[in-house]
Chains A and B, each alone.
Chain A
Amino acid sequence: MTDDPLSVPYRERERSVTMEPMGADDDLHEELFTLNIGPHHPATHGVLRLLTTLEGEVVRDIKPIIGYVHTGIEKSCEDQQYWKVITFVERMDYLAYYFNASAYCMSVEKLLEIEVPDRAQYLRVIHMELNRIASHLFALATGALDLGAITMLWWGCRDRDLVLDLFEMSSGQRMHPRYIQIGGVFEDIPPGWVEKTRKFLKLMPTRLDQYEDLLDRNEIWLERLKGTGVISQERALELGVTGPLLRATGHPWDLRKAMPYSCYEQFDFDVPVGHHGDNYDRFKVRMDEMRQSIRIVEQALDGLPEGDHITTDRKVALPPRHELATSMEALIHHFKLVTEGFRVPPGEAYTAIESPRGELGCYVLADGSAKPARVHMRDPSFVNLMSLPDMARDSLIADFIACVAMLDPILGGVDR
C-alpha cells in the first residue's frame, strides 16, 4: 500500500464541483454535469485531459489533468553526459527544439564560464527565430483546424515545410537536430544556406498577408475569437503566464528585450502587444511576432560576423577533424570528450529565454562530475495551462475549445 500521507482516492477528488440539484422546480431536475474531455480527443493539442463541469453548454469549471506524456526526461538527464543531455532536453517542448537546447546550453555555459563566439550567437539567433516562425505557423495551423478552418492547416504545414528544409540543410535533420551545442553550434552553415533563407524571408510576408486575408476578415473567425477567453492582466501575472498570452493582455514583457541574451540587444525589432487579453489578441500577437522574427533574421543575416562557430576551448568543444591527424593534444581532447565528457565545477545556474510560448527556464545543478546532478526546465506551457480554468469559466464549450487552441499548450513540455 502507499505510504502517502495524502492518499485520498483520486476519484473522490475529481468529482464534480457540486452535485446538488439546481432549480426549485419539482418536475425539472438539473445538476451540473461532469464531462471528461480527452486524453484522446480531436480538439486537444496533445494528450491533455480536461474534466469539465458543465451546466448545459456553459462551462463552470475545468480541471486539467496532465501527465500522459510524462517521459521522465529530467531523471534521464542525470544519467547522461552534458552534451548528451541536449538530445533529451530538445524533446520536451517538441515544437521549439532550438529553444530548449539553447536554454540548457546557456545554463551550462554560465556554469563553465566559457565565451560563445559572435558567429555562433548570430547563428543561434537565426535558427531560434526561424523556429519561432515554424512554431507559430504550426500553432496557427492546428488552432485553425480546431476551429474548423481546415485550409489553414494545409497552408501552415506547407510553409513550415520550407523552414524545416532550411533546418535540414544546416544540420541534417528536420526536427530535433541537436544543432545548438555547449559553446556554440554544431557546424557552420553550408554555402547557399544564406541565399535560401533570404528567398524564404522574401516569400514569407506575402504568405502572412494571405493568412490574414483568409482568416482576419472571416466573420466566423472573428466571432469565435473576439471577446472569448478573456483574462485580465493582473490575473495573468499572478498565475505566472508569460509569452504571447501575457502580451495579448497588454503587458509588454519579452525576455529578448527586458533581459537580453545571445546578442538580441543588437537587433532592432518590436514586441507586439494586445489590448483585451482575448483569443483574437493572442492570434494577432502571434501573427505579428512572425513578422518581427522575419525582421530579426534579416538583420542577423546582414550582420553575420565571420569567426568560429563554436568555442575554441578544446576542453569543452570537439576539435575539428583535420586537427586530429596532426595534433596529439587534439586527439587526447577528442578522446576525453567523447568517452567521459567534460566536467563542470560544482554550482547551479538558472537561465531563462523567450520561447514561442513564454519564459523557458533551465536550471542545472552540477556536482563536479561529467553528468549533471539535476536538470529542470521551467516550461512555459506548464504554467500557462493554469490559466485555462480562468479563461474558460462561464463560457460555452465552443469558446473553451478556442481558448485551448489559442493557448497553444505543448504537452511534451507540460509533462516532460
Chain B
Amino acid sequence: MRPRGRKPRGGNSKLPDATGLELIAQRIRTSLGDEAVTGTTYYREQATVDVAPEAVHDALEYLSRADEEPWTRLSSLHGVDYLPEEPRLGVHYQLLSMERCDRLNLRTRVGADDAHLPTVIDLFPTADFQEREVYDMFGVVFDGHPDLRRILLPEDYTGYPQRRDFPMGGEPVLFTFNEHKYPRWYD
C-alpha cells in the first residue's frame, strides 16, 4: 500500500474519522454488549463497523433510532463473498445521515453453510428488494422477510451465482486449439 501524495479530491471529508468511528463502536458496545461489535476498520476515509450476525438488527436499530447522532437512511444493502477468508459471506449495510452528510458502513460475516440474518425491513423498508437480491445472489436467508424469493434470476434457478465458487458459465471461446472439441451446429 503506497501513499501517492496528496489526499484525493472528491469524497466527503466530514466522514467519521478514526476516533469518531471508535466512539461509535464504543457506544454500540455499551448498549448491546461487548460481543456485538467484532471490529472496526477505517480505510481510505471510510468507516466500517463489524458486527456479529445476531446483533445486526439491534445494532441498526440503535444506530438509526437511539444513538445521539442517528443514521436514519439505508443507502445500500449488498453482499460480498470473501472467499477464501472465513466466514465467507459478508453483508454490508451502508448507512447515510442526511443531516450530517455522513456515511457509515456496517458489516457482518456469515458462513455459507448456515447463512441466516435477521431482516431489517421493519427499520428500513428500502431493504425489501435489496435483501431479496442478496438472497438471490448469495443464498443468505433473511429471517422475517415477508416475501423472500428470487428477484433477478428465474424462480426455479438453482445455485447462487455471485458466490466466488460458482462457475462463470457461458460458452468457451473457440480458438484453433480447442475448436475441434466443441462441435457447432453445422458440423
On whether A and B touch (CB less than 8 Å), the answer reads yes
Query: Which of B20-28, B29-37, B54-62, B125-133 contacts its partner?
Result: B125-133
Whether B174 is near chain A, meaning CB under 8 Å from some CB there, is no
* CB nearest to A67 among chain B residues: B152
Residues 43-95 of A at the B interface (beta carbon under 8 Å) = 66-67, 70, 72, 74-76, 78-79
- Which of chain B's residues have a CB closer than 8 A to the CB of A204? none
Give the top 8 A-B pairs by smallest Cβ distance, nearest first. Answer: A240-B126, A378-B76, A10-B155, A261-B10, A67-B152, A70-B152, A259-B12, A345-B1
Contact A361 B9 (CB under 8 A): no
Whether A313 is near chain B, meaning CB under 8 Å from some CB there, is yes
Contact B153 A359 (CB under 8 A): no
Whether B63 is near chain A, meaning CB under 8 Å from some CB there, is no
- Which of chain A's residues have a CB closer than 8 A to the CB of B18? none
Complex alpha-carbon distance, A2 and B6, angstroms: 53
Q: How far is the CB of B97 from chain A (nearest CB, A)?
A: 11
A-B contacts, 25 of them at CB < 8 A, read A2-B156, A2-B158, A76-B168, A110-B11, A110-B46, A113-B4, A114-B4, A115-B4, A238-B126, A240-B125, A253-B98, A259-B12, A260-B10, A261-B11, A347-B44, A350-B103, A352-B75, A363-B76, A365-B80, A373-B164, A376-B78, A382-B129, A382-B130, A383-B129, A415-B152
Whether B74 is near chain A, meaning CB under 8 Å from some CB there, is yes
Whether B162 is near chain A, meaning CB under 8 Å from some CB there, is yes
Residue from A76, A113, A385 within 8 A of B44 (CB atoms): A113
- Which of chain B's residues have a CB closer than 8 A to the CB of A115? 4-6, 8-9
Whether A237 is near chain B, meaning CB under 8 Å from some CB there, is yes
Contact B168 A374 (CB under 8 A): no
Complex alpha-carbon distance, A259 and B46, angstroms: 14
* CB nearest to B83 among chain A residues: A373
Contact B11 A359 (CB under 8 A): no
Q: How far is the CB of A78 from chain B (nearest CB, A)?
A: 7
Residues 210-263 of A at the B interface (beta carbon under 8 Å) = 237-240, 253, 258-263
Contact A386 B155 (CB under 8 A): no
- Which of chain A's residues have a CB closer than 8 A to the CB of B79? 376
Q: How far is the CB of B35 from chain A (nearest CB, A)?
A: 24
Central interface residue in B3, B76, B125, B133, by most chain A CB within 10 Å: B76
- Which of chain B's residues have a CB closer than 8 A to the CB of A116? 8-10
Beta-carbon contacts of B166-179 to A below 8 Å, as 1s and 0s?
A: 10110000000000
Interface residues on B, range: 35 or more
Complex alpha-carbon distance, A415 and B137, angstroms: 12
Contact B152 A66 (CB under 8 A): yes
Whether A8 is near chain B, meaning CB under 8 Å from some CB there, is yes
Beta-carbon contacts of B40-60 to A below 8 Å, as 1s and 0s?
A: 000110101000000000000
- Which of chain B's residues have a CB closer than 8 A to the CB of A111? 44
Complex alpha-carbon distance, A110 and B129, angstroms: 28
Central interface residue in A10, A240, A258, by most chain B CB within 10 Å: A240
Whether A147 is near chain B, meaning CB under 8 Å from some CB there, is no
Whether A293 is near chain B, meaning CB under 8 Å from some CB there, is no
Whether A121 is near chain B, meaning CB under 8 Å from some CB there, is yes
Complex alpha-carbon distance, A4 and B73, angstroms: 31
Instruction: Apart from A361-B76, A374-B81, list 10 A-B contacts with CB within 8 A.
Output: A6-B149, A114-B4, A239-B125, A239-B126, A240-B126, A349-B43, A349-B46, A365-B80, A378-B78, A386-B129
Contact A383 B126 (CB under 8 A): yes
Whether B141 is near chain A, meaning CB under 8 Å from some CB there, is yes
Contact B148 A6 (CB under 8 A): yes
Whether B92 is near chain A, meaning CB under 8 Å from some CB there, is yes
Known: A2-B156, A239-B125. A113 touches B8 (CB 8 A): yes
Q: How far is the CB of B82 from chain A (nearest CB, A)?
A: 8
- Which of chain A's residues have a CB closer than 8 A to the CB of B161? 72, 75
Whether B151 is near chain A, meaning CB under 8 Å from some CB there, is yes
Contact A383 B124 (CB under 8 A): no
Contact A112 B4 (CB under 8 A): yes
Q: How far is the CB of A82 from chain B (nearest CB, A)?
A: 16
Contact B149 A13 (CB under 8 A): yes
Complex alpha-carbon distance, A253 and B12, angstroms: 15
- Which of chain A's residues have a CB closer than 8 A to the CB of B168? 75-76, 79
Whether A310 is near chain B, meaning CB under 8 Å from some CB there, is no
Whether B108 is near chain A, meaning CB under 8 Å from some CB there, is no
Beta-carbon contacts of A99-121 to B below 8 Å, as 1s and 0s?
A: 00000001001111111100001
* CB nearest to A344 among chain B residues: B1
- Which of chain B's residues have a CB closer than 8 A to the CB of A239? 125-126
Complex alpha-carbon distance, A351 and B8, angstroms: 13
- Which of chain B's residues have a CB closer than 8 A to the CB of A6? 141, 148-149
